[in-house]
Chains A and B, each alone.
Chain A
Amino acid sequence: QQQVKQSPQSLIVQKGGISIINCAYENTAFDYFPWYQQFPGKGPALLIAIRPDVSEKKEGRFTISFNKSAKQFSLHIMDSQPGDSATYFCAAPEGSARQLTFGSGTQLTVLP
């Protein structure tokens, strides 16, 4: 059972546009939702994160919108830049070791 479902699989956006990536989860015990950004040949890096008791979190051009009743959340990248081209993963930590369950990933390409 896939605990965190992510869409779309790939996304192409023009420079300056808005990129939107969606995630849905099953486990209501999840209590924290980080987004990771991964560039080719690099490990994932924490981008932004949200708790389910908050409906929105904004950091610079990156915003998470959270809908607890629908068990859905999304990442919005405003004024997308070519340097944002990367793979984005939503995730949720679980268990005593807070091990991460990842979504399937979205490969974002921002065209210049």
Chain B
Amino acid sequence: DTEVTQTPKHLVMGMTNKKSLKCEQHMGHRAMYWYKQKAKKPPELMFVYSYEKLSINESVPSRFSPECPNSSLLNLHLHALQPEDSALYLCASSQASGGVQETQYFGPGTRLLVL
């Protein structure tokens, strides 16, 4: 099973709302990633968790707050977002074995619209 699941599929929120995106994998992967993808653009890395510890934060605004409760789950907490934050938010995971040919597996994404 190489599936990464994400919920919800779609989310509409106002600028004063607080919401969370969820990601789950059961492949035993120890690295999990959040990417943001705007229309017709490549995914842009936001955060990386390695062995449940935040290892990379790509200077993401504090209105995005990641959380990794355990090795299978990754959350992205959203608060006071701006309309320009509307995008497809992708979660990915990999083994974190350090191998050169390690593959990242992506979820289907959450389509977020901020009004």
List A residues at the B interface (Cβ < 8 Å): 31-32, 34, 36, 41-46, 49, 51, 89, 93, 95-100, 102-105, 107
Say yes or no for B56: interface residue by CB 8 A criterion: yes
Contact B56 A105, beta carbon cutoff 8 Å: no
Known contacts A100-B45, A102-B43, A104-B42; A95 and B108 CB within 8 A of each other:
no
Contact A44 B31, beta carbon cutoff 8 Å: no
Contact B55 A89, beta carbon cutoff 8 Å: no
CB-defined interface of B27-63 with A at 8 Å, one 1/0 digit per residue? 0000101000000111101001010000110000000
Contact A43 B56, beta carbon cutoff 8 Å: no
Which residue of B is nearest A93, CB measured? B102
6 A–B contacts, CB within 8 A, in A order = A34-B103, A42-B108, A45-B106, A93-B102, A97-B55, A98-B94
Given contacts A97-B96, A104-B41, A107-B40, 6 further A-B contacts (CB under 8 A): A41-B109, A42-B108, A43-B109, A49-B101, A99-B56, A102-B42
